[in-house]
Amino acid sequence: MDKNDILEKSRAAKKDEGKEHLKNLTSRYTLIPVAALAGFFVGINHSLLEEPGTLGAAIGAIIFTVAAAECFARYRFNGKKWLITGTVIAAILAVGFCVLYTAMLWR
Protein backbone atom coordinates (compact mmCIF):
# COMPACT_ATOMS: atom_id res chain seq x y z
CA MET A 1 0.00 0.00 0.00
CA ASP A 2 1.59 3.22 -1.12
CA LYS A 3 0.97 6.83 -0.25
CA ASN A 4 -1.64 7.41 -2.97
CA ASP A 5 -3.74 4.44 -1.85
CA ILE A 6 -3.80 5.75 1.71
CA LEU A 7 -4.82 9.22 0.52
CA GLU A 8 -7.61 7.78 -1.65
CA LYS A 9 -9.00 5.76 1.25
CA SER A 10 -8.88 8.81 3.49
CA ARG A 11 -10.74 10.94 0.96
CA ALA A 12 -13.30 8.19 0.39
CA ALA A 13 -14.04 8.03 4.11
CA LYS A 14 -14.84 11.79 4.06
CA LYS A 15 -13.67 12.09 7.63
CA ASP A 16 -11.80 15.29 8.38
CA GLU A 17 -9.54 14.78 11.36
CA GLY A 18 -8.93 18.51 11.64
CA LYS A 19 -12.63 19.22 12.14
CA GLU A 20 -12.90 16.42 14.67
CA HIS A 21 -9.91 17.79 16.58
CA LEU A 22 -11.49 21.27 16.49
CA LYS A 23 -14.72 19.95 17.99
CA ASN A 24 -12.80 18.26 20.79
CA LEU A 25 -10.88 21.45 21.60
CA THR A 26 -13.98 23.65 21.56
CA SER A 27 -15.77 21.23 23.85
CA ARG A 28 -12.94 21.53 26.34
CA TYR A 29 -13.04 25.32 26.27
CA THR A 30 -16.83 25.28 26.62
CA LEU A 31 -16.91 22.99 29.63
CA ILE A 32 -14.72 25.15 31.89
CA PRO A 33 -16.94 28.30 31.96
CA VAL A 34 -20.13 26.25 32.21
CA ALA A 35 -18.82 24.32 35.21
CA ALA A 36 -17.72 27.56 36.87
CA LEU A 37 -21.09 29.23 36.29
CA ALA A 38 -23.01 26.18 37.49
CA GLY A 39 -20.90 26.15 40.66
CA PHE A 40 -21.67 29.84 41.17
CA PHE A 41 -25.42 29.24 40.86
CA VAL A 42 -25.35 26.24 43.18
CA GLY A 43 -23.41 28.22 45.77
CA ILE A 44 -25.78 31.17 45.61
CA ASN A 45 -28.91 28.99 45.75
CA HIS A 46 -27.65 27.10 48.79
CA SER A 47 -26.56 30.22 50.65
CA LEU A 48 -29.70 32.30 49.96
CA LEU A 49 -33.39 31.55 49.79
CA GLU A 50 -34.55 30.66 46.32
CA GLU A 51 -37.08 33.10 44.91
CA PRO A 52 -39.66 32.22 42.25
CA GLY A 53 -38.45 33.03 38.75
CA THR A 54 -34.76 32.79 39.45
CA LEU A 55 -34.49 29.47 37.64
CA GLY A 56 -35.30 31.06 34.27
CA ALA A 57 -32.59 33.68 34.69
CA ALA A 58 -30.09 31.03 35.78
CA ILE A 59 -30.87 28.85 32.77
CA GLY A 60 -30.58 31.86 30.45
CA ALA A 61 -27.19 32.72 31.90
CA ILE A 62 -25.96 29.16 31.46
CA ILE A 63 -27.21 28.89 27.88
CA PHE A 64 -25.62 32.17 26.79
CA THR A 65 -22.38 31.35 28.62
CA VAL A 66 -22.18 28.10 26.67
CA ALA A 67 -22.91 29.96 23.44
CA ALA A 68 -20.25 32.60 24.15
CA ALA A 69 -17.63 30.01 25.10
CA GLU A 70 -18.40 27.88 22.06
CA CYS A 71 -18.23 30.86 19.68
CA PHE A 72 -14.98 32.08 21.22
CA ALA A 73 -13.35 28.67 21.05
CA ARG A 74 -14.35 28.28 17.41
CA TYR A 75 -13.14 31.83 16.68
CA ARG A 76 -9.72 30.99 18.10
CA PHE A 77 -9.33 28.12 15.65
CA ASN A 78 -11.23 29.48 12.61
CA GLY A 79 -10.65 33.22 12.88
CA LYS A 80 -14.01 34.11 11.30
CA LYS A 81 -15.28 37.56 12.24
CA TRP A 82 -18.92 36.53 12.74
CA LEU A 83 -17.84 34.17 15.53
CA ILE A 84 -16.32 37.01 17.57
CA THR A 85 -19.54 39.00 17.04
CA GLY A 86 -21.52 36.03 18.35
CA THR A 87 -19.15 35.77 21.29
CA VAL A 88 -19.65 39.41 22.27
CA ILE A 89 -23.44 39.29 21.92
CA ALA A 90 -23.76 36.03 23.87
CA ALA A 91 -21.40 37.29 26.58
CA ILE A 92 -23.44 40.48 27.02
CA LEU A 93 -26.63 38.42 27.32
CA ALA A 94 -24.98 36.02 29.78
CA VAL A 95 -23.86 38.91 31.99
CA GLY A 96 -27.33 40.41 31.73
CA PHE A 97 -28.95 37.19 32.88
CA CYS A 98 -26.45 36.91 35.75
CA VAL A 99 -27.32 40.44 36.86
CA LEU A 100 -31.03 39.63 36.56
CA TYR A 101 -30.51 36.48 38.61
CA THR A 102 -28.71 38.26 41.42
CA ALA A 103 -31.23 41.14 41.35
CA MET A 104 -34.06 38.62 41.77
CA LEU A 105 -32.34 37.08 44.78
CA TRP A 106 -31.76 40.35 46.60
CA ARG A 107 -35.07 42.10 46.02
In a domain, 2, yes or no: no
What total of structural domains would you count in the chain?
A: 1
Question: Domain range spanning residue 93?
Answer: 52-107
H/E/C letters for each residue in 58-91? HHHHHHHHHHHHHHHHHHHHHCCHHHHHHHHHHH
pTM (predicted TM-score): 0.61
Does residue 32 sit in helix, strand or coil? Answer: helix
In a domain, 5, yes or no: no
In a domain, 21, yes or no: no
In a domain, 11, yes or no: no
Confidence (pLDDT) at 52: 58
pLDDT tens digit at each of 107 positions of the chain: 677 777 777 776 666 677 777 776 777 677 677 777 777 776 776 666 555 567 778 888 888 888 888 888 888 877 788 888 989 999 999 999 899 888 887 77
In a domain, 8, yes or no: no
In a domain, 38, yes or no: no
In a domain, 70, yes or no: yes
In a domain, 107, yes or no: yes
Confidence (pLDDT) at 69: 86
Confidence (pLDDT) at 89: 92
